[in-house]
Structure 1
Amino acid sequence: MNFLHTDWLSRLDYGEAWDLQKKLIQEIDREERNDTLLLLEHTPTYTIGSDRHPEHLLYGKEELARRGIALYEIDRGGDITYHGPGQLVGYPLLYLDAVGLDLHAYLRKLEEAIIKLLADFGIVGGRKQEYTGVWVGDLKIAAIGVKFNKARTRRGFVTSHGFALNVKKDVEQEGFQGIIPCGIDEYGVTSIETLTGSEINVEEIGRRIVPYFTEVFGYSIPIAAETLSS
């Protein structure tokens, strides 16, 4: 059977979570661990992906330090984005066999799981043809940026990085005002709380996305979580 391990990590420093991803990727590659979905919040952080457009960061080093926002240049695809409290971050670490591999289909599945979740709240999520992520009209509610790590012990890839879904309305102002999100300056961002007018718990959103993730990706009932450390 095709099992998925899920784990809620609460709030975690970005660097610690990145190191944990690298460790688990190796375990999944060696078939020592089932595919894994990490769900968490981050402390305030900007990450710049492989597109490398530092001009899309509007704050200098002193302002970043004053606001307590970390900055990482990382190995996922895409441009700059914000991670912080009030946002559900998901890191799917999944083995993808090379036979019939469709990398674009993987991205569409991530989007689909989020779109299904939003529908629970009466939110009509969708896609923009030219951009990755999930949108509500012209407002982005979830960013997606991934990496496909070539497996060393078998034929295929193990995914890393993933999605960031804006849950709390505060996240819209706390960090996005300091960047041009994903290099897209003509559109803004939104959140589940803003669109519903209700207070929403991030951990609850993490719990509710798991059934949609397992449905879209074809997993059996998730394995019970265990404590992870980097």
Structure 2
Amino acid sequence: MNKKVQVQDLGFRDYKETWEYQESLFRDILDRKIRNRREGNSDATPNHFLFVEHPHVYTLGKSGDKSNLLVSEAVLREKGASFYHINRGGDITYHGPGQIVGYPILDLENFFTDIHKYLRLLEEMVIRTLAGYGLKGVRSEGETGVWLDAGTSRARKICALGVRASRWVTMHGFAFNINTDLAYFDLMIPCGIRDKSVTSLSAELGRHIPTREVKQQLLTHFSELFGAESLPVQPD
């Protein structure tokens, strides 16, 4: 079991280009697993964790409802945003400047084989990171992601999750609002959930937050929760 995780910070990068890169890493792990089983080998499979910040983009999961996008794709183009149907779970979400997007591309057989546990640990990673800033992040029953004041009239989402998995290999991941322009969320019904708002770390704390320090906290908690050895962040 290989618990080393290769971490890359891709910086500011187009969504489609990053998606294709994710797919190449995902396919490489799958191919190795298939080859191991076919040939009776036990070659270690790699694990990856990508950090990235995207230009304005809206993505719709395979089970999502496009009516949750409240404007036309022409309007999105006018606002400098793109739109993609993608192969993760979940509904519609937004990525943009000031948001930390994380894509763990893991062979879960190196850690555990439980997708529910995987999602809960990603949420816990964010919850522990928020605690370091004095905020109480929580789960909302039946709604994947991390919230503040869940179960109240002030419930607001700060981190969305949506993943794909095949043969215990994961891709896609989480979107954590740090210094995000929240006005872009007004163009959709976030994750298809009506009557609940979104927030960001900077909005809650009233100041700009250096994203590098948040990434380091996320990695620290990820390593603790997954029992992983996270290799140093490598810039692209």
Instruction: Work out whether the TM-score is over 0.5.
Output: yes
**Aligned-partner SS, 1:117:** helix
Alignment of 1:35-54 (within 5 A): 35-54=47-66
Deviations 1:142-175 (A, max 9, x none): 000000023xxxxxx210000000001x4211x2
1:25–1:93 contact (8 Å) kept in structure 2: yes
Aligned to 1:13: 14
Deviation at 1:125, TM superposition (A): 0.2
Deviation at 1:203, TM superposition (A): 2.8
2:160 maps to 1:143: yes
**Residue 194 of structure 1: which of 198, 203, 214 is its match?**
203
Deviations 1:185-216 (A, max 9, x none): 11000110111112102233112210101111
Aligned to 2:69: 57
**Aligned-partner SS, 1:37:** strand
**Aligned-partner SS, 1:97:** helix
The structure-2 alpha-carbon separation of the partners of 1:82 and 1:98, relative to structure 1 and needing over 3 Å to count, comes to: same
State percent identity of aligned pairs.
Answer: 39
Deviation at 1:127, TM superposition (A): 0.3
The structure-2 alpha-carbon separation of the partners of 1:223 and 1:159, relative to structure 1 and needing over 3 Å to count, comes to: same
Aligned to 2:137: 125
Aligned to 2:38: none
Deviation at 1:103, TM superposition (A): 1.2
- C-alpha distance in 1 between matches for 2:115 and 2:80: 35
Structure 2: unaligned runs, 5 residues or longer: 33-42, 150-154
2:56–2:94 contact (8 Å) kept in structure 1: yes
Deviations 1:34-92 (A, max 9, x none): 21110111110000001230100011122111101100000000000000001000000
Deviation at 1:98, TM superposition (A): 9.8
Structure 1: unaligned runs, 5 residues or longer: 151-156
Deviations 1:89-129 (A, max 9, x none): 00000102299722111100000000000011001000011
How many equivalent pairs are there? 219
**Aligned-partner SS, 1:27:** helix
In the TM superposition, structure 1's runs of 4+ consecutive aligned residues that sit over 3 Å from their partners are: 225-228
- C-alpha distance in 1 between matches for 2:234 and 2:8: 7
- TM-score w.r.t. length of structure 2: 0.88
2:56–2:80 contact (8 Å) kept in structure 1: yes
The structure-2 alpha-carbon separation of the partners of 1:118 and 1:54, relative to structure 1 and needing over 3 Å to count, comes to: same
RMSD across aligned positions (CA): 1.8
2:97 maps to 1:89: no
2:111–2:226 contact (8 Å) kept in structure 1: no
**Aligned-partner SS, 1:213:** helix
- C-alpha distance in 1 between matches for 2:79 and 2:235: 31
Aligned to 1:172: 182
Deviation at 1:218, TM superposition (A): 1.0
**Aligned-partner SS, 2:90:** coil
- C-alpha distance in 2 between matches for 1:98 and 1:113: 18
Greater mean alpha carbon deviation, residues 44-53 or residues 97-106: 97-106
**Aligned-partner SS, 1:76:** coil
Aligned to 1:154: none
- C-alpha distance in 2 between matches for 1:149 and 1:171: 34
- C-alpha distance in 1 between matches for 2:7 and 2:125: 15
The structure-2 alpha-carbon separation of the partners of 1:32 and 1:227, relative to structure 1 and needing over 3 Å to count, comes to: farther
